[in-house]
Amino acid sequence: MPGRRRLPRALPSEQGVPARALLRFLDSLEQGGPELHSLMVLRRGHVIAEGWWHPYRRELGHQLFSLSKSFTSTAVGFARAEGLLSLDDLVLDHLGDLAPARPDPRLARMRIRHLLTMTTGHVTATDVRVFGTPRWAKAFLALPLEAEPGTEFLYNTPATYLLSFLVQRLTGQRVLEYLRPRLLAPLGIEGATWEQSPEGVDTGGFGLTLATEDLACFGQLYLQDGVWEGTRVLPEGWVAEATARHTDSHILEPDWAQGYGYQFWRCQPPGIYRGDGAFGQFCVVMPEAQAVVVATSGTPHLQGVLERMWEHLVPALAGEQEVGADLEPAAEAELAARLAGLRIAPPSGDAVPAHTLAGRRIEVAGDAEVRAVVVGPEGLGTGEGTTVTLELADGGSRTLAVGAGQWAERAVRPRRGQGAFAGRVEDGPLPVVAAAAWTAPDACTVQVRPLQSPTCLTLDARVTDDAVTAHARLSVSFGRTDLGAVRGRVVEA
Listing DSSP states for 246-264 in one string gives: -B----SSGGGSS-B-SS-
Query: What pLDDT score was predicted for residue 327?
Result: 62
Q: Average pLDDT, stretch 41-55?
A: 98
- Output the pLDDT for position 12: 95
| Contact by Cβ (8 Å): 77, 119 | no
Banded model confidence at residue 420, pLDDT cuts 50, 70, 90? very low
- Before 34, cis peptide (omega within 30)? no
Residue 212, pLDDT score:
98
CA atoms within 13 A on the CB side of 430: 22
191 burial via Cβ count (<10 Å: 0-12, 13-18, 19+): middle
CA distance 37 to 55: 9
Q: What is the DSSP letter of 415?
A: P
Q: What is the mean pLDDT of residues 161-177?
A: 98
42-69 mean pLDDT: 98
Quick: pLDDT tens for 296-355.
999 999 999 999 999 999 999 987 555 555 568 999 999 999 999 999 999 999 999 998
Q: Name the residue with higher pLDDT: 129 or 417.
A: 129
- Residue 380 CA to residue 459 CA, distance in Å, equals 13
- Tell me the CA distances in angstroms from 408 to 167, 373, 482, 489, one per residue in order: 41, 18, 25, 26
Residue 326: predicted pLDDT: 54
Digit-coded pLDDT (tens) for 81-123: 999 999 999 999 999 999 999 999 999 999 999 999 999 999 9
Mean of the per-residue pLDDT values of the chain: 94
Q: What is the pLDDT of residue 465?
A: 82
Q: What is the pLDDT of residue 1?
A: 78
Cα(193)–Cα(208) distance, integer angstroms? 6
Give the pLDDT confidence score for residue 418 in this predicted structure: 43
Long-range contacts of the stretch 327-333 (C-beta < 8 A, 24+):
327/20, 328/11, 328/12, 328/13, 328/18, 328/19, 331/18, 331/19, 331/20, 331/23, 332/11, 332/12, 332/13, 332/19
In tens, the pLDDT along 137-156 reads 999 999 999 999 999 999 99
Q: What is the pLDDT of residue 3?
A: 83
Could you tell me how far CA 129 lies from the centroid of its own chain? 23
Alpha-carbon distance 45 to 287, whole Å? 12
pLDDT of residue 432: 97
Residues 6+ apart with CB under 8 A from 192: 2, 61, 176, 184, 208, 209, 210, 214
What is the reported pLDDT for 31?
81
* DSSP structure string for 15-64: GT--HHHHHHHHHHHHTT---EEEEEEEETTEEEEEEE-BTS-TTS-EE-
Backbone angles phi, psi at 232, to 5 degrees: -70, 125
What is the rounded distance in angstroms from the CA atom of residue 68 to the CA atom of residue 161?
10
Instruction: Please answer whether residues 157 and 127 qualify as being in contact, where contact means their C-beta atoms are separated by less than 8 angstroms.
Output: yes
Of 212, 184, 223, whose CA–CA distance to 294 is shortest?
Answer: 212
Q: Give the model's confidence band at 366: pLDDT under 50 very low, under 70 low, under 90 confident, else very high.
A: confident
pLDDT of residue 426: 58
Q: How far apart are CA 473 and CA 253, in angstroms?
A: 26
DSSP-assigned beta bridge partners for residue 411: 431
Per the CB < 8 A criterion, the answer to whether 353 and 484 are in contact is no
Helix (H, G, I), strand (E, B) or coil at 275: strand
The angle subtended at Cα 296 by Cα 294 and Cα 302, nearest 5°, is: 90
Instruction: Give the pLDDT confidence of 391-417 residue by residue, as tens digits.
Output: 998 889 999 999 999 999 999 988 665
For 108-133, letters b (16+ CB in 10 Å) and e give ebbbbbbbbbbbbbbeeebbebbbeb
Residue 126, SS3? coil
Q: Rounded CA gap, 203 and 395, in Å? A: 28
Going by C-alpha positions, the residue among 177, 183, 182 that lies closest to residue 202 is: 177
Q: 307: which strand partners?
A: none
pLDDT at 419 over 50: no
| Contacts of residue 339, Cβ cutoff 8 Å, sequence gap at least 6 | 26, 49, 50, 51
Residues pairing with 202 in the sheet? 196
Distance (Å, rounded) from C-alpha 133 to C-alpha 215? 31
270, 268, 265: which is closest to 282 by C-alpha? 265
pLDDT of residue 52: 98
**Three-state secondary-structure class, residue 87:** coil
The H helix count followed by the E strand count for the chain is 14, 21
Q: Note the pLDDT of residue 86.
A: 98
pLDDT at 427 over 70: no
Which residues on adjacent β-strands are paired with residue 408? 434
pLDDT reported for residue 424? 57
Is residue 477 predicted with pLDDT exceeding 80?
yes
Task: Indicate if the pLDDT at residue 290 is higher than 50.
Answer: yes
